[in-house]
Structure 1
């Protein structure tokens, strides 16, 4: 799966806020947050750099996608990762067109337009993060 990779000069907490806001500006809410560094510490007793998975969802697009092909729920929400890096914070955002349109889960024709819409929105998130 292809994805965009954005390096932010912001610290981790500020990066989480910027990513969350950029997603919100495009109609995505963060419905899940998994702090992997905390999970690894708690479950395995190991230290790990700060790494968070944000589960982003646009309710309108998700409803349309799951209505067209219920199996698409396996790919939802759209996961965006934010991780501490040597210089700043690294953000990864998936290509929704590839994820929804080329998943191999379904042949539902209605998903092409939805994948394009979601992809365009996520492209704008990437642009906002790069410009910010």
Structure 2
């Protein structure tokens, strides 16, 4: 396994990108269950300064339920993590690729396929909107 994320870099400011990702996740049928402000956490726990970075724990309950029925151990990989990080004048967005789950449990293939389609669509919408502002999809 060489790559385990879907990623995109956009020229939009970090705060705008975080809000846009939230909206696009909702459009794709995902809710945000958890948020971890990595910069604030590292500052509070270690006293170190880092670029802004947030982990959004996204969940589509229907897919989570199907995944748990297929293999209850998948709970260790839920919710789907979506990371938005400041990157120069823009932001980088990374999503754990649900297809990787099938390497651990082939029973998750159908759920992983749908989750990947929805998350890829979200990433494509993010970069498609930003085409006029030097967005790059990787």
Q: If the length of structure 1 is used for normalisation, what is the TM-score?
A: 0.91
Output the CA distance in 1 between the equivalents of 2:6 and 2:126: 11
Counterpart mapping for 1:28-107 below 5 A: 28-98=30-100, 100-102=101-103, 104=104, 106-107=105-106
Give the SS at the match of 1:47.
coil
Deviation for aligned residue 1:64: 1.0
Deviation for aligned residue 1:87: 2.8
CA deviations 1:11-64 (Å, max 9, x no partner) are 111111111111111111111000000001111111111011111110110011
Output the CA distance in 2 between the equivalents of 1:126 and 1:43: 32
Task: Count residues with an aligned counterpart.
Answer: 127
Unpaired runs of 5+ residues, structure 2, are 130-138
Output the CA distance in 2 between the equivalents of 1:85 and 1:119: 24
Q: If the length of structure 2 is used for normalisation, what is the TM-score?
A: 0.87
Unpaired runs of 5+ residues, structure 1, are none
Q: Which runs of 4+ in 1 moved over 2 A?
A: none
Check if 1:120 corresponds to 2:117. yes
Deviation for aligned residue 1:86: 1.1
Aligned-residue RMSD, C-alpha: 1.2
